[in-house]
Structure 1
Amino acid sequence: MPFTLLFVAVLGLLPTFLEAPAAALPAPFAWPVTPAQVTRRFDLPPQRWLPGHRGVDLGAPPGAVVRSAGAGRVSFVGVVAGVGVVSVSHAGGLRTTYQPVAASVAVGDQVATGDQLGLLDGGHPGCSETACLHWGLLRGRVYLDPLALLGLGRVRLLPLDGAQRSVQR
């Protein structure tokens, strides 16, 4: 089979990053801080217990408004390990997380894309800027690249036969 046809066939079979048809994805999503400056990308470790970076760090000034990346319901507001965290549950089983945030919302609040969740606190460890928002995305207990919500995530093609193979990074 010529490469072009194989490539088209693979694209036709390739599920979205969320393993759901594109029509089932909630939309639209937007940056949670603006202007957005990615200072550290998503880096999922090969095993759940290994170190990695299960979100994206977005540089912004302390006190910047943190907004919901998509419409949903606030499912968590609290402090985890001394850091303010807000989580929003979205359609399709997705959940976005935001930290460190001084929350201005409460659990159960309905939010639209762009609604204010709180203000960015400074002091995120590993941040190369004065402050960074750590923005995460989960489906159930599986971490996903939140940049994929904006069409900016990294794509990895997997073998059609489903065989496990080592992945070069």
Structure 2
Amino acid sequence: MVRGFEKPAARWAAGHRGVDLALEAGGSVLAPYEGEVVFAGTVVDRQVLTLEHPDGRRSSFEPVSNPLPVGSRVQAGDAIAQLDSNIQHCTSSFCLHWGVREPAPGSETARRGLDYTNPLLLLGLEEPSVLLPIGDDFAA
């Protein structure tokens, strides 16, 4: 991992809404879970591919080239694109940015109220933070 997830203090605040993973230029981008390609197109100056997973989460990958077309169904491990060798997202090396959005509590559909979450939580590589009480009643 080149850079980790940094949750912003507020939805509009600065942060790093995903993880940057080292990958060779032109390397295959693989689907982390089954899903359907719901977006494959240019955002600002780079191509982005977005998968919607059965649980409503959305995974986005950038910068990519040769993405699968919208409507393509994929399984975990399927090649969905290649890392774009013309754009260097990370400053010192080529890397893939993977962002995950999940339905916010109380949102009516998966397409509204999406909040960014740490992709590594989905892989079981990190555990969510848990706040514990402190004081005289707390026994560690």
Q: Per the shorter chain, which TM-score range?
A: 0.7 to 0.9
- Tell me how far 1:155 sits from its aligned partner: 2.0
C-alpha contact (below 8 Å) 2:30/2:79 kept by paired residues: yes
CA RMSD of aligned residues (A): 1.5
- State the Cα distance separating 1:154 from its structure 2 match: 4.2
Higher share of residues assigned helix: 1
Which of 57, 73, 76 aligns to 1:113? It is 76
The answer for the alignment partner of 2:92 in structure 1 is: 128
Contact 1:42 1:56 in 2 (8 A): yes
Q: How high is the sequence identity, in percent, across the aligned residues?
A: 38
State the 1:158 CA deviation: 3.7
TM-score, normalised via structure 2 length:
0.81
In structure 1, the gaps of 5 or more residues are 1-37, 161-169
Aligned residues: 122
What is the TM-score when the length of structure 1 is the normalising length? Answer: 0.68
Mark the runs of 5 or more structure 2 residues left unpaired by the alignment.
104-113, 134-140
Q: 1:92 deviation in Å?
A: 1.2
Equivalent residues of 1:96, 1:136 under 8 A apart: yes
**Structure 1 runs of 4+ with >4 Å offset:** none
- In the alignment, residue 88 of structure 1 is paired with which amino acid? L
- 1:151 maps to a residue whose letter is G
Q: Give the corresponding residue for 2:23.
A: 60
User: What does residue 39 of structure 1 align with?
Assistant: 2
User: Residues 124, 54 of structure 1: CA spacing in aligned structure 2 closer, same or farther, 3 A cutoff?
Assistant: farther
- 1:54 aligned counterpart, secondary structure: coil
